[in-house]
């Protein structure tokens, strides 16, 4: 009997986990997490990775990018990347889902999400993460 704390391969993934799992496989990524802009985890793949730790890192980067955006007068940030000495990158892609409401006083009904992934050295990520972002947007529309 195994001590493995990973989900069994036969366990069903929710739609977000399925998108992240496909993205990880296509990109060769080690872990991915989808969070709200407040850092609340929505999905983490593999599930054995600490979603709370990942969400905390993403929230920290969100605050840092917001500060930089405000202080430097930049447009809305859509990506933040941190690279370590081993060339592993933590890539955070920011995107908005939902529809804008009509009228000046109407709530927007839009939600900002963050897709974060650990990208090994030599792996490309932009096309694969773009595809995942589009699938998440379709899922939530």
Q: What residue ranges do the domains of the chain occupy?
A: 15-100+109-140
pLDDT 10s digit of each residue in the chain, 141 long?
A: 434 444 444 468 899 999 999 999 999 998 999 988 877 889 989 877 776 777 677 777 777 777 777 888 888 888 888 899 999 999 999 999 986 555 555 455 788 899 999 999 999 999 999 999 999 999 988
Q: Which fold has domain 15-100+109-140?
A: Beta-Lactamase (3.30.450)
> Angle at the Cα of 37 (from 140 to 102), degrees rounded to 5?
55
Q: What is the DSSP letter of 47?
A: T
State the Cα–Cα distance between residues 21 and 129, nearest whole angstrom. Answer: 12
Tokens of 58: 């993403």
pTM of the model: 0.78
Determine the angle formed by the axes of helices 15-27 and 126-140, rounding to 10 degrees: 170
Residues 6+ apart with CB under 8 A from 134: none
Residues 82, 68 contacting (CB under 8 angstroms) = no
pLDDT of 101 reads 52
């Amino acid at each position: 009997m195994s001590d493995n704390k990973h989900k069994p391969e036969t366990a069903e993934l929710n739609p977000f986990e399925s998108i992240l799992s496909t993205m990880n496989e296509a990109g060769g990524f080690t872990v991915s997490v989808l969070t709200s802009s407040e850092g609340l985890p929505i999905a983490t793949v593999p599930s054995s990775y600490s979603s709370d730790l990942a969400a905390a890192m993403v929230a920290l980067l969100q605050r840092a990018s917001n500060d930089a955006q405000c202080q430097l007068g930049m447009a809305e940030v859509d990506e933040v990347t941190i690279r370590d000495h081993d060339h592993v990158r933590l890539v955070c892609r920011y995107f908005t889902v939902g529809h804008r409401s009509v009228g000046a006083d109407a709530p927007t009904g839009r939600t900002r999400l963050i897709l974060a992934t650990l990208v090994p050295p030599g792996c490309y990520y932009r096309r694969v993460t773009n595809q995942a972002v589009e699938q998440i947007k379709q899922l939530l529309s």
